[in-house]
Structure 1
Amino acid sequence: MARATPPSEKDRLVTVTLDPNTITSINPDEVHEWRIAIYDLLEDNSFRPARVSAEGPFALHVSIIGNSILLDVRDPETFKPIAAHYLSLTPFRRLIRDYFRIRDAYYEAIRSAQPFQIETVDMARRGMHNEAAELLRTRLENKLIIDLNTARRLFTLICAVQPYASRIDEATSKLPTVLFVCSMNSVRSPMAAALARKAFPGRIIARSVGVNGGKADSFVHEVMEEVGVDMSVHTPHILDELVANHFDLVVTLSDDAPGAVARKDLEAGAIEHWQVEDPSIVEGNRDLVSEAYRNLRDTLERRVRERLEPLVSGGSQSR
C-alpha cells in the first residue's frame, strides 16, 4: 500500500520544469542560475492551486508565451494538467530591472566594499524581494496560494529565466517545425527533440509528445547529461495537448504513434516513421540498461542531424 502523504507535505512543489522551446540557453552560467533558483524553490515552499480539488504535492511547468509567464500546475507523477495561469510580466518590469541592478551591486560589494556597504546593499535587496513577492501574491490571488517566502523564490526563478527566453511566436515564425511522437513522451521523443535543439540551436522549433502520458525517466537524464543536455526540464505531454496543428515534419518513434498521428489529422509537410529500440524494456543490470539508452541517444543524434540539416538549410521536407 502506498504511504499517505502527510498534510504538511501536500501543499508544496516537488518538481519544477522549464519549457525548452521558450526558455533556452547554451550558456552554462545561465543554466546554472536556473538550476539554483529551482533548487531553492523546491527546498522550501508552500504552494497549492486555488479553486481546484486536486491534492498535492504538485509539479510546476514554466513557459514564456509572449509577454507572459505560463505557470502550468501538474500532477508530479502523471504530469496530468491541474491548473494553468498566465502571469503578465509588464507589472514586474521595474522590479526585474532592480533585481539585476541590485544583484550586480551586491556581488561587487562582496568583492571590494566595506561591511556596512554590503549590509546597505543587502537591505535594498531584501526590500526589493519583499515588494516583488507581495506583488506576485497579489497578481496570483485566487489562482495560486503561496506564502511570502515561496513568492520570493518564485520571483527569483522568473528573473533567472525571462531575460534569456527565446520568445518564438510559432504562429508567425519562419523557423522549420518538427514534432517527435512516441508512446509516452518519456524516452524516445523527448530525447530526439532535445537533440534537435542541441544540433540546431535557434534554427528549429522541435517539440515532442506521447500517445499517452508517461513519467520522467532517470536514465534519460543520465545519458543526456553526458552530452551536455539537461533533461530535468522535460515535462511529458500527450498528443491531445498540442495547440499547434501544422508541422514541417512529423517523426513517429513507436509502433502506436503512426495511428495516433493519423487520427489527430495533423497538417504536415512530411510524416515518417523511425524504427528505434525502446531501452526502457531492456532487462539486466544498471550498466546494461544505461548502455541501451546511450545507444538510442547516439542513434537519434545521428539521424536527427542527417534528417534535419536539409530542413533547417531551407531544403525540402521530403527525402
Structure 2
Amino acid sequence: MQAVGGYAFKKTDKIVTVTLDPNTITSINPDEVHEWRIAIYDLLETNRFAPARVTSTGPYALHVSIVGNSIVLDVRDPNTFQPIAAHYLSLTPFRRLIRDYFRIRESYYEAIRAAQPYQIETVDMARRGIHNEAAELLRTRLVNKLHIDLNTARRLFTLICAVQPYASRIDERASALPTVLFVCSMNSVRSPIAAALARQTFPGRLISRSVGVAGGKADSFVHDVMEEIGIDMSVHTPHTMDELIATRFDLVVTLSDDAREAVERKGLEIGAIEHWPVADPTLVHGNRDTILNAYRALRDDLRQRVRARLETLVSSGSQTT
C-alpha cells in the first residue's frame, strides 16, 4: 500500500476503464477524438484512484460527462457498470488554467518545430508548472470525494482539457430539440447503437438517449462494427431506466419485449411510443466473422429505421415542450 494525504492506496485502487458521455461530449473531428483517446490511455496506464466516504473495492470505471458548467465524475463498477459514487466538479476555478494549458501547449509544439533546446526546456518547465498547479487544485476540490495522487490528478486534468472545449452545453430541460429514447434489455447492443446512429444522422438536431431494463456490459462487437462507420462506441457506458433523469420524450422506441413492459411501468410522459422488432445479434453463434455479420446486419437495419422515422420528428420539432 502507498499512503497519499492520509489515505493508504491498495493495489486495486485504480481506474481500468474510462468512458465519455456521447450526449454531452461531442465531436466528429478525428483529431479531437484521437486527443481524447491519448488522454484516456495516459490516465489508464498509471493511476491511483478510489472514491471517498463509500464502502467499495477497486478497480473502478470512470464515466465522464459535462452538465452545464460542471464535469461529472461518475465512478462505477467496471464489470456491471453499477453506480458507486458521482461528483460534480465546477469548471469555473479551472478556466484560467485550462486557457493557459492550451496556450502553453501551442507554444511547446512551436518550440519543438523551430526553437533551440534551451527554449524548449523553458516552455516545458512552464507547461509542467501549469500541470502541477492544476493537479493540486483538482485534488483540493476533490477532498472527501475522491482519493487521487498527484500524477493521477495531472492526467485527469489533461483529460478534462481534452474534452471540455467540445462539450455540448444544451440544457435538455429548456431545449426545444426533439427528444428520443431507445430502450432495450441491457443497454449494451441494440439501444446504444440506435441512439448513436441517431446522433450521427442528425447532429445537433435532436437529443438521443438510450437505456436498458437492467444493467449490462459493454460489448466489443458493438465497438468493432460501429467504428467501421466512424462512431466510437468505446465511450459508451450502459445505463438503466432507473438512472433516467428526464421524464418527457417526444418518441420512445422499444427494441425488446421486456422494454415495452418496463416503459409502461415507468410512467414517462411520451409523445409517441413505437416498438421496432429487430434481431438480437448476441443470440447468434459461430465464428467471429459470422457474429460480426450479425452485428452489422443489426446496425444497417437500425440505420435505415432511424433515418426514415426520425426525419419527420426532427422536421416537426419537439412536441412535449
Query: What's the TM-score once normalised by structure 2's chain length?
Result: 0.96
Query: What is the CA distance between 1:316 and its match in structure 2?
Result: 8.6
Say how many residue pairs are matched: 311
Counterpart residue number, 1:127? 129
Counterpart residue number, 2:230? 228
Matches within 5 A, 1:25-104: 25-104=27-106
CA contact (8 A) 1:22 1:64 kept: yes
- Cα separation, partners in 2 of 1:207 and 1:193, compared to 1, 3 Å: same
CA contact (8 A) 2:176 2:318 kept: no
* Runs of 4+ deviating beyond 6 Å: none
Query: What is the CA distance between 1:199 and its match in structure 2?
Result: 0.3
Amino acid aligned to 2:153: A
Query: What is the CA distance between 1:304 and its match in structure 2?
Result: 0.3
- Cα separation, partners in 2 of 1:86 and 1:316, compared to 1, 3 Å: closer
Counterpart residue number, 1:169? 171
Gaps in structure 1 of 5+ consecutive residues: 1-6
Q: Summarize deviations over 1:211-239 as a string: whole Å, max 9, x none.
A: 00000000000000000000000000000
Counterpart residue number, 2:150? 148
Counterpart residue number, 1:184? 186
CA contact (8 A) 2:81 2:215 kept: yes
Distance 1:240 1:98 in 2: 40
Counterpart residue number, 1:138? 140
Distance 2:283 2:52 in 1: 39
- Cα separation, partners in 2 of 1:64 and 1:315, compared to 1, 3 Å: closer
Distance 1:41 1:315 in 2: 40
CA contact (8 A) 1:203 1:312 kept: yes
Query: What is the CA distance between 1:9 and its match in structure 2?
Result: 3.5
Give the SS at the match of 1:180: strand
Amino acid aligned to 1:301: R
Query: What is the CA distance between 1:315 and its match in structure 2?
Result: 6.2
Counterpart residue number, 1:3? none
Counterpart residue number, 1:200? 202
- Cα separation, partners in 2 of 1:122 and 1:252, compared to 1, 3 Å: same
Distance 1:301 1:282 in 2: 20
CA contact (8 A) 1:310 1:316 kept: no
CA contact (8 A) 2:250 2:318 kept: no
CA contact (8 A) 1:13 1:42 kept: yes
Amino acid aligned to 1:297: R
Residue 19 (structure 2) aligned to one of 4, 17, 31: 17
- Root-mean-square deviation (CA, aligned residues, Å) is 1.0
CA contact (8 A) 2:23 2:208 kept: yes
